[in-house]
Amino acid sequence: MKKVNDILSSDSTIHTISPDSTVWDAIKLMTDKGVGALLVTESNKLVGIISERDYMRKVALMGRASQTTQVREIMTPEPFTVSPDQSTEVCMQLMTEKRIRHLPVVDKGKILAMLSIRDLLENIMEEQKHLIEQLEQYIRGESY
């Protein structure tokens, strides 16, 4: 199984927001960037994560106003993180057990990326495709 570092894109952009920002600003940024979650940072340190799910459960369903509610009021503080040398298998297990879709990748306190369930699924599909190709070559008697 691959490591997180093996599947991270070199051009991955990390989208962050301040805990003092409004939820409205967070939802607008997520929409503009086409992402489902943002890392919440303060002084370049990870303090939480806010997702579309947080908005739905803690703002929309509670009748709160996204224009006046601060990110800090609904974010998930101290999110689960992984290191770049963590196996993708362990990441999938963590996401499944904790029912989360995003994992910040942090190394020595520095935020490197945001890993999504989609990143992991795409990696698994790529590995399976490669394995199938190898098996087909083996069956046909071709060397690989």
Q: What is the pLDDT of residue 10?
A: 62
Residue that wins the pLDDT comparison between 74 and 144: 74
Q: Show the domain range for 24.
A: 4-140
How is residue 75 written in tokens?
A: 């974010």
Q: Partners of 104 in the beta sheet?
A: 114
Residue type, 77: P
| Residue 60 DSSP class | I
| E-assigned strand segments in 1-120 | 16-17, 37-42, 45-51, 76-77, 102-107, 110-116
The CATH number of whichever domain residue 82 belongs to comes to 3.10.580.10
* Stretch 115-130: mean pLDDT: 86
Q: Domains in the chain: how many in total? A: 1
Question: What are 11-49's pLDDT values in tens digits?
Answer: 678 999 999 999 999 999 999 999 999 999 999 899 999
**Band (128; pLDDT cuts 50, 70, 90):** confident
Residue 84's pLDDT is 93
Mean pLDDT of 80-102: 94
Residue that wins the pLDDT comparison between 2 and 94: 94
- Dump pLDDT digits (tens) for 48-77: 999 999 999 999 889 999 999 999 999 999
Distance (Å, whole) CA 116 – CA 99: 12
pTM for this predicted structure: 0.83
What tokens appear for 43 in the block?
Answer: 């002084």
